[in-house]
Structure 1
Amino acid sequence: MDSFALATFNVHLGMNGWGQPFDVVADCAALDADLLVLQECWTPDGEPGTADTVASALGYR
């Protein structure tokens, strides 16, 4: 049976515990997951959201 890596990540709107932005794409890439589930992603009106940015940068769809 084939296997795959599943990861879930609470993005916290792209802010760390001290209210500073962090590199969401780099942190998601470090998970090296085949299937990535993101929570608390920011999607500004009329602009790409966090999930869109991660998907585009890392080849998810």
Structure 2
Amino acid sequence: MEIEKSYYDVYDVIKLLGVSKSKAYAVMREMNDYLEEQGYLVISGKVPARYFNEKWYGGTHA
């Protein structure tokens, strides 16, 4: 049984977007900066899976 992730780490973003490690970190940093500006707490090196999927896939990616 596979557990659905709440947060994606850099390796998840690399796999999902097919980008380099540095680009994945840049994407995550930009997303977390935006979330922080909106008043959310963030975890460095991780991005909320639901937010990531909404922004990249319109919320349709599993």
TM-score band by shorter chain is under 0.3
Name which one, 1 or 2, has greater alpha-carbon Rg: 1
Structure in which a larger fraction of residues adopt helix: 2
Give the alignment's TM-score, normalised by structure 1.
0.27
